[in-house]
């Protein structure tokens, strides 16, 4: 593998570029991004070796598609049209159904691997990219059987070499489950931040009282709206389902408060403490 193209040189695409370059210093990392400033920054940070254009994809051995999910769905056909028969194309988006459907009838469908590395931070842009982001993180792969076997092998070897654990799912299951463990978390964080900001307009001291608990809970509200709005749009039905269940639990908690049923509140929290056993070992 000599020529890697990263489309979108932010947190995930940039971090993959850093790890792949560390493994193989001889590889050339080419960056494509609609923001010229991102490309200049990525070069200065040594995330990519040079900037490129879509027409250059004919020379690619590997293409990493790491842009907002709506843009990925729009770009994937053009990418597959341009690549060689031996090129592997992967996308790293947080939703999988739309892009898998988009490529289903393409002549080069077997060159495409749909994946979602469950790794990230609340930061975005080239400066967010870090070495070792994917070590011991789960990488969900969808419809692996539709990717050419030799390209599957290449991809799995590559991902495992940077420390990823591989998990297989169909796109429908992925999007349903990720709505609970990721998309709902972001909505909760954004809305908590909104609630506190609106209160802070009248009570200027409120942030002086904010501790680590608030900071960790609201951390995801610093995430990019440009990235997350398309995710919520693509996964709308699953996200609405999770929100409805979450709202039921919030309403139930409020009702217990109104009824002064603090024994029930204690039991609810005690039962939920089991989550620490489920999440044991997850960083």
Residues 6+ apart with CB under 8 A from 89: 62, 63, 65, 76, 79, 80, 83, 111, 112, 113
Q: What is the pTM of this model?
A: 0.89
* C-alpha 19: how far from chain center: 17
Residues 6+ apart with CB under 8 A from 243: 184, 187
| CATH architecture of the domain with residue range 3-169 | 3-Layer(aba) Sandwich (3.40)
Mind giving me the DSSP string for 125-193?
SGGG--TTTTTT-EEEEE-GGGS-HHHHHHHHHHHHHTTPEEEEE-HHHHHHHHIIIIIHHHHHHHHHH
Tokens 């049209």 sit on residue: 81
Distance CA 2, CA 21 (A): 10
> Where is 33: in which H helix or E strand?
none
Strand-pair partners of 91: 65, 114
Q: What is the location of CATH 1.10.3660.10 in the chain?
A: 174-278
Average pLDDT score over the chain: 93
Provide the pLDDT for residue 203: 61
Phi, psi of 8 (to 5 degrees): 100, 95
Phi, psi of 96 (to 5 degrees): -125, -25
Helix (H, G, I), strand (E, B) or coil at 216: helix
Q: What is the location of CATH 3.40.50.720 in the chain?
A: 3-169
pLDDT in tens, 223-270: 999 999 999 999 999 999 999 999 999 999 999 999 999 999 999 999
Mean pLDDT of 183-208: 82
> Where is 223: in which H helix or E strand?
none
pLDDT grade, residue 209 (50/70/90)?
low
Fold of 174-278: 6-phosphogluconate dehydrogenase C-terminal fold (1.10.3660)
Mean pLDDT of 137-143: 96
Alpha helix segments (H runs only) across 28-89: 36-44, 69-82
Instruction: Let me know the angle formed at the C-alpha of 111 by 17 and 134, rounded to the nearest 5 degrees.
Output: 30
Residues 6+ apart with CB under 8 A from 48: 6, 9, 14, 17, 29, 30, 31, 39, 42
Tokens 């509140």 sit on residue: 265
Provide the pLDDT for residue 205: 67
pLDDT in tens, 92-122: 999 999 999 999 999 999 999 999 999 978 8
């Amino acid at each position: 593998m000599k020529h890697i193209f990263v489309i979108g040189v932010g947190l995930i695409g940039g971090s993959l570029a850093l790890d792949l370059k560390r493994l193989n210093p001889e590889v050339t990392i080419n960056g494509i991004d609609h923001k010229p400033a991102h490309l200049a920054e990525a070069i200065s940070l040594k995330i990519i070796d040079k900037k490129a254009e879509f027409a250059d994809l004919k020379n690619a051995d590997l293409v990493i598609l790491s842009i907002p999910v709506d843009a990925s769905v729009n770009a994937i056909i053009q990418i597959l049209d341009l690549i060689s028969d031996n090129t592997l194309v992967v996308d790293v988006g947080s939703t999988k159904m739309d892009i898998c459907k988009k490529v289903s009838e393409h002549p080069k469908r077997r060159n495409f691997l749909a994946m979602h590395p469950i790794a990230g931070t609340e930061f975005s842009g080239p400066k967010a990219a870090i070495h070792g982001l994917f070590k011991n993180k789960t990488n969900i792969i969808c419809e692996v059987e539709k990717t050419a076997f030799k390209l599957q092998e290449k991809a799995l070897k590559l991902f495992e070499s940077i420390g990823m654990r591989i998990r297989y799912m169909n796109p429908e299951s992925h999007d349903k489950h990720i709505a609970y463990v990721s998309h709902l978390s972001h909505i909760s964080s954004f809305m908590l931040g909104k609630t506190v900001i609106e209160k802070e307009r009248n009570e200027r001291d409120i942030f002086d009282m904010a501790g680590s608990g608030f900071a960790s809970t609201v951390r995801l509200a610093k995430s990019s709206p440009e990235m997350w709005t398309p995710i919520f749009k693509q996964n709308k039905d699953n996200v609405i389902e999770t929100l409805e269940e979450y709202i039921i639990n919030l309403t139930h908690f409020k009702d217990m408060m109104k009824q002064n049923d603090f024994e029930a509140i204690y039991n609810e929290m005690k039962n939920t403490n089991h989550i620490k056993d489920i999440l044991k070992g997850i960083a």
